[in-house]
């Protein structure tokens, strides 16, 4: 099944026209790859990466490859087609007492996408990335060559594919370890930090907590610069594995982009920051609002209007910590841009995956609507980030320059070498890989 469609990432920028192939079986993936033209192709899942990483003029959409293939209830190792969503996995396995070992801020991504982005979550500081729990993947490098890759078999290709943005082939299936839980609920604690200094201190004090993340007000200035709400959590042990009924609300149409401006966001942020009046509040919440607060609002990306938006997520090493973070947050606050969805988190150590994003330090993610003057601001931020030895998350990126990429992802040459060795360079290519100079 194929058709010409207009597609975009979650940021709704850019919007391109592509031939979209939707195979129903693995053999369909092979023939779709065979029929691809000279321009190359990229695999695409639910289109939740923000930028242009899943965009190409020829796309293989894995959305219908959604079967669970194997499950060992003793070890919690599950094998699935790569197009299954994390939402579907949770729905099947939470009632059985299993949870995702690592989850990003939305469950509406595919398993293949989770591997290709080597996604991280609120437990990165203690558990690492998603791919650290992957046993093996089936990777199609060409129509007649499907390799089983793991830490021990084709391990170089494995470490290039985990976080490799689909540029080493098409992930057909993934086998990974679920984590046992005895409850669908999270014991959550919310702590107020008056500014960024206190926020970073609180992260350190709560380093032993399984989950930690902070919402940060990037528009506050002066002594309130970087005021935050730190949320920490542990799986509850109340043996309640059932879920309450869900009622998602939806943003039915594109909103006028002027709706989100400095004043409306400032108002939202002030209200949000002051939603708790005590220094610390503890409560028990279902895993959905804890991990996926925005999944409760379908199509929230339409809030940013017709020009779309981008999420800027960077990490800087711990040594640069407070100084670097303060400098960047100041720059953002002064610009008056920035959004109500800004997230601060401390990362644990970097893994062996060549293009994986996290490294030991602090990461900040924030949304900006696409508008005049935004990209120059982001270029200025890039310069500061690079100065401190940091980098930008490829899954969110839509505008980083090739030199910035090369400088901040020093293992890129090794990555290219593995692509060349396996003959996947030029065949699997996206708008992003071209922009970053990985493909022509």
Partner 1 sequence: MKKILIIGATSAIAEATAQRFAKEGASLYLLARNEERLTSLAADLKIRGASSAAYALLDVNDRVRYEEVLKEVVKTLGTIDVALVAHGTLGDQKACEDDVDRALLEFETNAVSTIALLTRLSNLFEKQHGGTIAVISSVAGDRGRPSNYVYGTAKAAITTFCEGLQARMFHSGVHVLIIKPGMVATPMTEGLSMPGFLVAEPDQIAADIVRAIEKKTDTLYTPWFWKYIMAGIIHLPSAVFKKENL
Chain positions contacting partner 1, by CB under 8 A: 1-5, 20, 22, 24-27, 64, 66-71, 78, 81, 92, 252
Least distance between partner 1 and beta carbon 78 (Å): 8
Least Å from the CB of residue 299 to partner 1: 9
Judged by CB, which is closer to partner 1: 1, or 271?
Answer: 1
Q: Which is nearer to partner 1, 95 or 410 (CB)?
A: 95
* Start-to-end C-alpha separation, the chain: 28
Write down the least CB distance from residue 20 to partner 1, Å.
7
296 vs 417 by CB, closer to partner 1: 296
Angle at 134 between CA 418 and CA 406, to 5 degrees: 35
List strand residue ranges (DSSP E) for 110-177, in order: 134-142, 145-150, 170-177
DSSP 275: T
- Residue 58 CB, shortest distance to partner 1, in Å, is 14
Q: What is the DSSP string of 386-436?
A: HHTT-EE-TTT-SS--HHHHHHH-TTHHHHHHHHHHTT-TTTB--HHHHHT
Dist CA 193 CA 190 (whole Å):
10
- Is 62 or 117 the residue whose CB approaches partner 1 more closely? 62
**Residue placing its CB nearer to partner 1 in the complex, 1 or 15:** 1
Where is 334: in which H helix or E strand?
Answer: helix 321-335
Nearer to partner 1, 222 or 252 (CB): 252
CB of 5 to partner 1, least distance (A): 7
C-alpha 250: how far from its chain's center? 21
How far apart are alpha carbons 148 and 153 in whole angstroms?
7
Tell me whether residue 65 or residue 332 sits nearer to partner 1 (CB atom): 65
Alpha carbons 354 and 415: distance in angstroms, whole number: 6
Q: How far is the CB of 173 from partner 1 (least distance, A)?
A: 10
- String of b and e for 7-19 (b: at least 16 CB within 10 Å)? bbbbbbbbeeebb
Nearer to partner 1, 137 or 167 (CB): 137
Angle between helix 321-335 and 196-205 (nearest 10): 140
Rounded Cα distance between 339 and 265, Å, is 6
Q: In a 3-state reduction of DSSP, which class is residue 354? A: coil
> Would you say 210 and 179 are in contact if contact means Cβ atoms under 8 Å apart?
no
Bond preceding residue 14 cis, omega within 30 of 0: yes
- Closest to partner 1 by CB, 4 vs 249, is 4
Q: How far is the CB of 250 from partner 1 (least distance, A)?
A: 9
Strand partners, 188: 233, 283
Q: How far is the CB of 247 from partner 1 (least distance, A)?
A: 14
Can you tell me whether residue 384 is helix, strand or coil?
Answer: helix
Q: Closest approach of Cβ 135 to partner 1, in Å?
A: 16
């Amino acid at each position: 099944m194929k058709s010409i469609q207009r597609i975009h990432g979650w940021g709704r920028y850019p919007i391109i026209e592509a031939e979209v192939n939707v195979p129903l079986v693995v053999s369909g993936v092979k023939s779709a790859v065979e029929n691809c033209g000279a321009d190359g192709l990229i695999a695409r899942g639910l289109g939740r990466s923000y930028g242009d990483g899943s965009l190409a003029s020829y796309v293989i959409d894995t959305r219908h490859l959604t079967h669970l293939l194997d499950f060992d209830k003793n070890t919690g190792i599950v094998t699935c087609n790569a197009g299954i969503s994390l939402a579907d996995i949770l729905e099947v396995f939470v009632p059985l007492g299993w949870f995702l070992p690592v989850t990003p801020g939305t469950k509406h991504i595919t398993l293949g996408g989770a591997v290709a982005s080597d996604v991280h979550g609120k437990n990165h500081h203690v558990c690492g990335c998603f791919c650290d729990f992957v046993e093996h993947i089936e990777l199609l490098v060409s129509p007649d060559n499907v390799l089983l890759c793991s830490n021990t078999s084709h391990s170089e290709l494995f470490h290039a594919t985990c976080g490799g943005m689909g540029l080493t082939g098409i992930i057909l299936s993934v086998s990974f370890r679920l984590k046992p839980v005895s409850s669908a609920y999270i014991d959550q604690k919310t702590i107020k930090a008056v500014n960024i200094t206190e926020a970073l201190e609180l992260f350190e004090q709560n380093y032993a907590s399984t989950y930690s993340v902070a919402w940060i007000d990037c528009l506050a200035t002066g002594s309130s610069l970087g005021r935050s709400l730190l949320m920490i959590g542990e799986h509850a042990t109340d043996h309640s594995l059932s879920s309450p009924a869900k009622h998602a609300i939806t943003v039915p149409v594109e909103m006028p982009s002027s709706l989100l401006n400095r004043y409306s966001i400032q108002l939202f942020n002030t209200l949000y920051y002051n939603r708790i009046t005590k220094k610390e509040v503890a409560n028990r919440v279902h895993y959905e609002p804890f991990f996926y607060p925005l999944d409760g609002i379908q199509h929230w990306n339409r809030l940013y209007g017709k020009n779309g938006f981008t999420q800027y997520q960077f990490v800087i090493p711990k040594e640069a910590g407070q100084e670097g973070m303060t400098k960047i947050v100041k720059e953002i606050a002064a610009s008056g841009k920035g959004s109500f969805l800004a997230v601060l988190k401390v990362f644990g150590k970097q893994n062996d995956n060549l293009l994986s994003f996290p490294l030991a330090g602090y990461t900040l993610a924030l949304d900006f609507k696409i508008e005049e003057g935004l990209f120059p601001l982001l270029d200025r931020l890039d310069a500061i980030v690079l100065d401190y030895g940091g980098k930008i998350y490829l899954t969110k990126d839509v505008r980083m320059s090739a030199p910035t990429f090369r400088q901040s992802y020093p293992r890129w040459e090794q990555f290219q070498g593995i692509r060349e060795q396996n003959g996947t360079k030029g065949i699997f290519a996206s708008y992003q890989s071209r922009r970053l100079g990985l493909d022509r």
